Structure 1
Amino acid sequence: MSPTMSEVSNRIPEKTGRALKKLQTRSALIRAAAELFAELGYADTTMLAVATRAGLHVQTLYKHFPNKEALAIAPEFDLLERFKIAMQGKDPKTPFTSFWRDWVCGSATRTQTDFRDGQLQRLQTTLQVPAVVGHARAISNEYLNLLEIGLAEELKVDKSDNRYPRLFAGMLWEANNSATASWAKNLGRGDLAEEVTGGVDDVRKLISLWKLANSIN
């Protein structure tokens, strides 16, 4: 039987005091790595250098990240985890596509307001490293699975025997990727939030036509 959004939500663990401490350490390591990747480049940044920059022992680093690739993709992984938590708090009355539109708009706004230069650098360098790309694809697949679950509920179909939730999930995800790639290519001169929400709106028009054809309100 296919998982539902409520079942996804139940998999999100609550944060304890100890977990929050680990999260702070993890964040310090991610910041240190981002700084060094920007300064030295991905290839010349060592795990030891990251630990030293963060003021931590290298063994502490390895407890959080088994290799440099996992460290490089950590911001995307953490964003995925926040998305899962956001799904947990989603109002059941809100259409999933509306929820997704709000999420990508908020994420894009934070990116271009608070992390513009750093994210542009990562998109053009670190996230192009073949070993890192593999990790990024795994994260993309997780998003697609979550989008498929949410869309199946909105479309009122069982995703195990209906291909449309996955097809529309792919459209929504690629719209987001395309907008981000265009923003990076133009060196952040456009409005990322406007671009990603525009892509979502285009896909929502197609979903509305499907709903109309299948008499779904």
Structure 2
Amino acid sequence: MDRWRRTHGALQRAALELFAEQGYDATTVTQIARRAGVSEMSLFRHFATKDALVLDDPFDPLIGEAVVARPADEAPMRAVVEAVRETLAGRSEEVVPVLRQRLRIVAEAQSLDGALERNSAATAAVIADSLVSRGVERDAARVVAAAVIAGLSAALLEWAGRGDRRLDQALNEALDVLGGASACSGSTT
């Protein structure tokens, strides 16, 4: 692992530790940098803002590539749902502890109200751009991207708060609903 990645990881670990110990709002970037053994300037080279330490998402480019790689005749919503499913397949359990911790921090910190949604705008833009590159009209691409992001955000926050389900189960159920599967399993209506 190169120096940049080691420092990046050390900063995120230090931030999450401090946020868990004293709360997001009570933790300063100076404390995070000090715990990680770097200067504040180094911290800001890696993360433009304090909230980026919690919200940084490495999956956006991977999801975009997976959307572009889906079959050309696939409906936009199905392409995105399956691209997200492919991107996250087999990775969910390796990120579970950190993701749950991050989502709880976001849910508990008053200063992060709306941060998940703002951060998700970048993911939505990647998805929309990938759909446009497949020939989907920009307006339709934005609607699909927004729907998927909203659905996944709701599922992730619910998962983080409950703690009684596996991440892959929560994500797959949300993706099934987004992809058009019934939201009421076992219904006899």
Q: Fold-level match, TM-score > 0.5?
A: yes
Residue 120 of structure 2 corresponds to 140
CA distance in 2 between counterparts of 1:108 and 1:64 reads: 24
**Could you tell me how far 1:33 is from its partner in structure 2?**
0.8
Confirm or deny that 1:111 pairs with 2:87.
no
Q: What TM-score does the superposition give when structure 1 sets the normalisation length?
A: 0.65
Does structure 2 conserve the Cα–Cα contact (< 8 Å) formed by 1:37 and 1:45? yes
Does the CA contact (< 8 Å) of 2:67 and 2:131 recur in 1?
no
Amino acid at match of 2:87: W
Is the Cα contact below 8 Å between 1:105 and 1:196 reproduced in 2?
Answer: no
Q: Kindly indicate whether residue 179 of structure 2 is the aligned counterpart of residue 191 of structure 1.
A: no
| CA distance in structure 1 between the partners assigned to 2:51 and 2:149 by the alignment | 22
Equivalent pair of 2:70/2:83 in contact (CA under 8 Å): no
Q: Distance in 1 between matches of 2:87 and 2:48?
A: 30
- The CA deviation at 1:107 is 4.5
Structure 1 residues 153, 189: CA separation in 2 closer, same or farther (over 3 Å shift)? Answer: same
Give the paired residue count: 174
How far apart in 2 are the matches of 1:125 and 1:62? 20
Give me the TM-score of the superposition, normalised by structure 2: 0.73
Is the 1:104–1:197 contact (alpha carbons within 8 Å) kept by the matching residues of 2? no
Match of 1:14?
none
2:180 paired residue number: 205
* Cα shift readout 1:144-174 (whole Å, capped 9, x = no counterpart): 12222334455x4322xxx332222222212
Bigger mean CA deviation after superposition, 34-43 or 49-58: 49-58
- What are structure 1's unaligned runs of at least 5 residues? 1-16, 207-217
Distance 1:25 1:132 in 2: 24
State the Cα distance separating 1:104 from its structure 2 match.
Answer: 3.6
Residue 171 (structure 1) aligned to one of 147, 153, 160: 147
Q: In the aligned structure 2, how far is the partner of 1:89 from the partner of 1:103?
A: 7
Task: Return the offset for 1:135.
Answer: 4.2
Structural RMSD (CA): 2.9
* 8 A contact 1:101–1:197 mirrored in 2: yes
- After superposition, the Cα gap between the structure-2 partners of 1:55 and 1:171, relative to the gap in structure 1 and judged at 3 Å, is same
**3-state DSSP class of the match of 1:125?**
helix
